[in-house]
Amino acid sequence: MTKKIAVILSGCGVYDGSEIQESVITLLRLDQRGCQVQCFAPDVAQKHVINHLNGEEMPESRNVLVESARIARGEVKDIALANADDFDALIVPGGFGAAKNLSSFASDGAACSVNLQVQALAEAFAEARKPVGLICISPALAAKIYGPGVTCTIGTDAETAQAIEKMGGTHQECEVTEIVEDTARKLVSTPAYMSAKTISEAAAGINKLVDRVIELTQA
Q: What is the pLDDT of residue 219?
A: 79
Beta bridge partners of 190: 135
pLDDT digits (tens, 9 = 90+) for 165-183: 999 999 999 999 999 999 9
Taking the C-alpha atoms of residue 83 and residue 125, their distance in angstroms, rounded to an integer, is 9
pTM of the complete model: 0.98
Q: Are strands 49-50 and 57-58 parallel, antiparallel or unpaired?
A: antiparallel
The pLDDT assigned to 1 comes to 84
Is 136 noted as a catalytic residue in this protein? yes
Average model confidence (pLDDT) across the chain:
97
How would residue 18 be classed by pLDDT, with cut points 50, 70 and 90? very high
Amino acid at 13: G
Instruction: List the domain range (segments joined by +) for residue 202.
Output: 4-216
For the residues of 134-193, what is the DSSP string, one character each?
EETTGGGGHHHHH-TT-EE---S-HHHHHHHHHTT-EE----TT--EEETTTTEEEE-GG
Number of domains in the chain: 1
Q: Which CATH number do you get for residue 67?
A: 3.40.50.880
Q: What pLDDT does 11 receive?
A: 98
DSSP-derived 3-state class of residue 77: strand
Marked catalytic residue, from 35, 136, 152, 174: 136
